Structure formats: C-alpha cells, structure tokens
C-alpha cells in the first residue's frame, strides 16, 4: 500500500536504499474503548457508540460516531444534538484492561520484543522474523491484525517500518483496520505530504520554529543536513530526524514500567462545587491515591503540585517542596493544605482537582537528616504498610484519612448510580462487587 | 592429564573422611587424616581441616578434637543432592492442572456468557448457567456455537451437511433454524459452569 502518489511526481531520491535493516511494528487499536464495547455487545456493531457517560464527556467514540461529527472531549449534551441515536455507555475500564492485556499477549505470540506503549498502542520488533513466519513483514502484520480481530472482535491499524517514528506514521496512514508497510526506499513517499507537526514527538512550538526555516513537511525536515539539525534542535529532535531517515534510535523497550518521573492523580466531579471542605476532600483523596501508587513502586516525592480546575476550565496550581522525601499522606497533608489555601477562592465553582508527586526518589531512607524523627517515621511506615494490606484485602480506601471523608458521602458524579458498567452489576454466582472473574463477558441474550 | 578441580578434590576428601567415620565409628586423628588426604605435613592437614570447618562439614571441640558436622549423613555431603530428592508426591503433582487450565484453552480468545434461554436444556445448559466461549476456534459440525442468524443471536448445535448449515436446539419446544440471509458465528461453546453454592 503506497500513498496515492506516483513515483514521477514525488520528491526525488529515496532517503535510504536499505529496505529492512530492522523492522519495527506499531499497532494502534481503532477507537479502542468504543470497539471493546462493540465486541462485548455485538448488537452495537455498526452503531455510533460513545463511552464516558459517568464523566459527562466523550472518552471514546466509535468510527460510526466520529463520522457523525462526534469528537473526543465533547460534552454529552452536544453529542445528543449532532447524533441523536448515539449509544452512550459508562466506561468499563476493567473490560478495556482485559482487552489491552490480550492484545499484548497476542503480539507476544509473534515476537518476544513487545513494548506496551499505552493501553491501546504497542511497538513490536519484528526484525528477522520473516523466515519464522514464512512471509514478508507485511504478511506478518496482516496476520497479527486478523488474529486480533478474530479472537478479540476489535480492529487495529498497523504500521511497519525501519524505526518507531516511521512505524507510527504508518499506523496512522490507513486507519481504521489497515496495514501500511514503509520499506526504506519508500520512506520519502510517505513523508512528502505529512506536515512536520504531525510527526510523533514534534510539538506545536518545534513545528513553528521549523516553519520559520521553511520546513513544512516531514520530508523537508528529513532532508535537512545534520549541521542544520545540530545547530537548531536539541537531542530528542535530532533523534527524531535520524529515525525519519530510517536509522532506528529509539529501541523497543520490553520491560514493563517500573519507575516513574512523576505520579499524578486527578478526578473530576459533577456537579461543580464551591464547597471548600468538599473540594479539599477531593484533593486529599487524590493525594492518597498518588501516594498508594508511589509506595507500590517504592518511591518518595520531594515535590508536590496541587491544582484545582474551575468550571471555566481554568487551572490554578501551586508547587511545594517536601522534606524529607515521603509517600505518606500523614506528612504531605500539611503542605497540601497550605497549597490549597493559596489556590482556593470562595464563590468559584470547581470541577476537578489533582495532585502531582514529582522529583521522585527511591524510598530507601537515604533522604533523612539528623533532625528527622526516625522513630515516628518508622511508625508511619508500619501504619501505611498495614493500610496497604487492608486495601489489598478489602478494597481501596477501606481505611483512609479523615480529610478525604466527604468524597465518600457524596457521589463523585450526579446520577452516578445508573452509570455503573454492566460488568459490575450483572454478576455470576461467586463474584462480588470487588472481585470478578478475569475474563470479559459477552452480553448476548441466548 | 587435567588437574583435578579443587571442588572435586574437596569432595573426595569429604567422602573419604566420612567413610572413615562410618567404618570406625569415630573421627580420624590428625595423623590419620594425613593418610586419608595424602598429605605429608601436619600443617597442610591443619589447613585442610580449617577449610572443612568453615564449610561446616566438621567442627572442633574445646580440646581441638574433631566433631563430625554434616558428614554424619552421607546424602547431604555430596553437594549436588543437597536440594533433596523430589518426593514422589511432588512428581505426581507436576501432572495435575487447575480448573482454569482445564476449562480455558486459549485465554486471549475466551469470553464468558450468561445463558438466559432454555433452548439447549437437553445438552445440560440451563438458564443462569455460565458458558465459556472460544472465539479463536474454527466451528465444526456438532459444536455448540453462539451465532447471529438473520440479525438474531442464538446458541445452538451447528450442523453442516455439505453446503447446508442448520442450527439445532436441544429442546423439543424449539425448531431448528436454517439461516435465510446470513449467519455469523461469534464463537464455540467449550464448557458450561454451574456454581451451586
């Protein structure tokens, strides 16, 4: 599959004549959340399906809904205006996660080198696998796509090329349910019509800078000489330039994420609230959630960012220092309160709060000074260990800080009760509200 | 000839010393050890004993006489068998499978479904039962399948006779279905699970 341009009209020499020094595949599931819903509710296939009911905005829209003008992030009342027959469902993250894991497992049948890039995207190193699968990289890619469609009932788009950046261009080229193969000699054909700002990793600012130098397409960028690139751009962009020229720089990272630069937790609530105690309880719960994750990865924060978002979508944020580094809300509530007081204004309606733990360091006790109360810190470590054990056994927030209490006494979203996914309400004997079988359920009446 | 490996030498010494202990019912003296170890000087014997002591094979009493350590039981001595023989029970357990393994062949393609109708009651599938559906298998004649016939979903036996495909219920109150326009098979039913308590 080559773009609808012929060789005569396109921009000259190939960027490289080596066809497959390495083969990287990028796979991107099509309208993932909405597709999962259509897979477990087969009667919804071919209909406009939208997820995100509990949030009041579109989290994902099926291709049928996109065709009607539904976009991500759109408010649901707007959706009903453009697409009256839209099926709007609450998000069922449990099912989506199961589908995600399955997609990665299927990829691992083909190659051990799989990078789980996000819930619905992955990179796979296919280099050298042509003989094993008796076919071209294109036929392997098609086989992967067909296996996912048959076993999971969802479609995905696939790109195969010499580098991650090029593979990503490929998977975007023919969406949905398409395969795009870009061998070395064809790279320039795909880059010619691609705006430089559409390349993975090139943001609006960099695109604007490149535009100033007369670079508008990805091909113009790729053809620039190294001296220019080194003079005007920093290391990550130099890497993108190499990748566009078919020289792989970003390897496929197979190990699952075990460390983080920062951990953030944010949550919206409806209706928006001006109640200080309630808004603070939301921030407090965000903090507890972020700390749970930090403790799971044995990390401690040295900086804490608090932000609250008004109904007008304006964000108000503040950053605070944490010493000694900690992942225990007991020590973080005080700076959190201080930060919150700076941000909070009466008579403003807020709709979202969030915290970011950053400057993360390994929680190995090396960050303490002579003046820290080690006995108390050790006590806290024990208390939170017990708390984490309780959570594992009885569910998250079985025991929580008093400051988060108000989040429990009021529904996160108005009308929340009818917005629970079917999987959590139609249970099999032996399942309960907290634990269910780790297999997706087909909602077919037979 | 290749020089014997240090570990091999040590192992031979331990076995020889242990043989002496088992034959004589006592530990050898230092001079006897010299003979066993083929060492002429007392200081070499002393060195060898020191090494065995650190390994915990032997120890010394307060007067410097040797006390047998792990050499008492010859099985432990040989190092490689120290992990112990696998017990017969363990061997047998290696051949068992979990209910999950038995019921699920290809996990990635397996889905659950709650049965609502009684058209397959003759096959032992009742309303409220959980069936396990494999989407990866190619449906064969005689399989119970989940299928969409002319826009309606159903669970029936699949019967193929040449080109003709019929869906057969397992309940006399229902009629066999011959697809008029189109038939889509969503998966093959591989198991039925009914939890009673």
Its ipTM equals 0.74
pLDDT confidence of residue A2: 47
pLDDT confidence of residue A16: 85
Test B112 with A437 for CB contact under 8 angstroms: yes
Shortest distance between the Cα of A64 and any Cα of chain B, in A, equals: 19
Choose between B35 and A246: higher pLDDT.
A246
pLDDT confidence of residue A8: 44
Choose between B134 and B79: higher pLDDT.
B134
Q: For A310-324, what is the mean pLDDT? A: 86
List residues of A whose CB lies inside 8 A of any B CB: 40, 42-43, 102, 105-106, 150-153, 426, 428-430, 437, 439-442, 444-446
Indicate the pLDDT class of residue A412, thresholds 50, 70 and 90: confident
- The structure's pTM equals 0.73
pLDDT confidence of residue A231: 94
Decide: A3 and A187 in contact? Cβ < 8 Å: no
Test B153 with A42 for CB contact under 8 angstroms: yes
Token couple for B62: 């307060």
Report chain B residues whose CB lies below 8 A from the CB of A110.
Answer: none
Rg (CA), chain A: 25
Give the best residue of B103, B104, B106, B114 to mutate against chain A (max A CB count within 10 A).
B114
pLDDT digits (tens, 9 = 90+) for A196-240: 999 999 999 999 999 999 999 999 999 999 999 999 999 999 999
pLDDT confidence of residue A169: 97
Test B117 with A430 for CB contact under 8 angstroms: no
pLDDT confidence of residue A106: 96
Neighbours of B153 (CB within 10 A): 17
- Phi/psi for A56 (5° steps) reads 85, 0
Indicate the pLDDT class of residue B88, thresholds 50, 70 and 90: low
Test A428 with B195 for CB contact under 8 angstroms: yes
Q: For A425-435, what is the mean pLDDT? A: 85
Alpha-carbon distance B82 to A352, whole Å? 61
Token couple for B21: 């202990």
- Would you say residue B157 has pLDDT above 80? yes
- Upper half-sphere CA count for residue A182 (Cβ side, 13 Å): 33
- Would you say residue B75 has pLDDT above 50? no
Q: Is the peptide bond before A188 cis (omega within 30 degrees of 0)?
A: no
Quick one: closest CA in B to A108, which residue?
Answer: B108
Quick one: closest CA in B to A439, which residue?
Answer: B111
Alpha-carbon distance A177 to A157, whole Å? 5
B12 CB-near residues (< 8 Å, 6+ apart): B4
- Phi/psi for B159 (5° steps) reads -125, 125
- Upper half-sphere CA count for residue A225 (Cβ side, 13 Å): 2
Instruction: Name which of A90, A91, A78, A92 is nearest A418 in CA terms.
Output: A90
Cβ pairs bridging A and B (under 8 Å) = 65
Rg (CA), chain B: 36
């Amino acid at each position: 599959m080559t773009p609808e341009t012929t060789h005569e009209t396109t921009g000259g020499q190939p960027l490289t004549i080596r066809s497959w020094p390495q083969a990287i595949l990028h796979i991107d599931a099509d309208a993932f959340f909405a597709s999962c819903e259509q897979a477990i509710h087969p009667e919804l296939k071919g209909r406009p399906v939208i997820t995100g009911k509990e949030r009041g905005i579109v989290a994902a829209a099926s291709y049928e809904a996109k065709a009607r003008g539904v976009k991500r992030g759109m408010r649901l009342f707007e959706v009903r205006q453009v697409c009256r027959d839209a099926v709007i469902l609450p998000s069922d993250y449990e099912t989506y996660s199961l589908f995600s894991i399955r997609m990665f497992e299927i990829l691992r049948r083909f190659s051990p080198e799989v990078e789980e890039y996000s819930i619905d995207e992955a990179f796979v190193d296919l280099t050298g696998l042509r003989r094993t699968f008796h076919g071209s990289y294109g036929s392997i890619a098609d086989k992967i796509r067909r296996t996912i469609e048959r076993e999971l009932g969802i479609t995905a788009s696939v790109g195969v090329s010499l580098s991650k950046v090029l593979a990503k261009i490929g998977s975007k080229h023919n969406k949905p349910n398409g395969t795009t193969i870009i061998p070395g000699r064809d790279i320039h054909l795909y880059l010619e019509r691609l705006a430089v700002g559409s390349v993975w990793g090139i943001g609006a600012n960099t695109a604007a800078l490149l535009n100033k130098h007369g670079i508008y397409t990805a091909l113009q960028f790729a053809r620039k000489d190294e001296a220019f690139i080194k003079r005007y751009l920093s290391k990550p962009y130099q890497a993108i330039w190499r990748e566009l020229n078919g020289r792989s720089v970003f390897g496929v990272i197979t190990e699952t994420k075990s460390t983080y630069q920062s951990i953030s937790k944010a949550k919206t609530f409806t209706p928006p609230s001006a109640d200080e105690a309630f808004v603070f309880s939301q921030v407090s719960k965000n903090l507890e959630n972020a700390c749970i994750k930090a403790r799971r990865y044995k990390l401690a924060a040295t900086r804490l960012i608090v932000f609250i978002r008004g109904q007008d979508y304006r964000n108000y944020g503040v950053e605070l220092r944490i010493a000694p580094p900690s992942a225990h809300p007991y020590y973080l509530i005080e700076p959190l309160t201080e930060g919150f007081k700076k941000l909070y204004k009466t008579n403003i309606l807020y709709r979202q709060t969030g915290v970011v733990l950053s400057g993360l360091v390994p929680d190995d006790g090396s960050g303490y000074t002579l003046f820290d109360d080690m006995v108390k810190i050790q006590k806290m470590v024990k208390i939170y260990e017990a708390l984490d054990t309780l959570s594992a056994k009885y569910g998250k927030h079985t025991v929580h800080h008093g400051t988060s209490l108000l989040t429990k006494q009021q529904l996160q979203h108005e009308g929340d009760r009818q917005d629970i996914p079917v999987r959590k309400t139609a249970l099999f004997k032996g399942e309960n509200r907290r634990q269910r079988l780790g297999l997706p359920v087909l909602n077919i009446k037979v | 000839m290749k020089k014997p490996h240090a570990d091999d030498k040590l192992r031979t010494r331990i076995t020889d010393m242990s043989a002496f202990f088992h034959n004589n019912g006592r530990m050898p003296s230092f001079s006897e050890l010299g003979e066993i170890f083929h060492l002429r000087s007392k200081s070499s014997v002393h060195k060898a004993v020191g090494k065995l002591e650190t390994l915990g094979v032997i120890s010394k009493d307060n007067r410097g006489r040797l006390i047998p350590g792990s050499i008492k039981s010859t099985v432990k001595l040989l190092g490689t068998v120290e992990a112990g023989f696998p017990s017969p029970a363990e061997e047998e357990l290696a051949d068992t499978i979990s209910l999950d393994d038995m019921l699920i062949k290809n996990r990635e393609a397996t889905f659950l479904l709650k049965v609502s109708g009684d058209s397959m009651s003759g096959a032992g599938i009742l309303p409220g039962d959980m069936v396990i559906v494999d989407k990866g298998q190619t449906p064969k004649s005689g399989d119970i399948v989940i299928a969409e016939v002319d826009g309606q979903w159903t669970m029936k036996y699949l019967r193929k006779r040449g080109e003709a495909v019929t869906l057969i219920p397992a309940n006399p109150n229902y009629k066999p279905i011959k697809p008029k326009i189109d038939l889509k098979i969503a998966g093959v039913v591989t198991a039925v699970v009914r939890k009673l308590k």
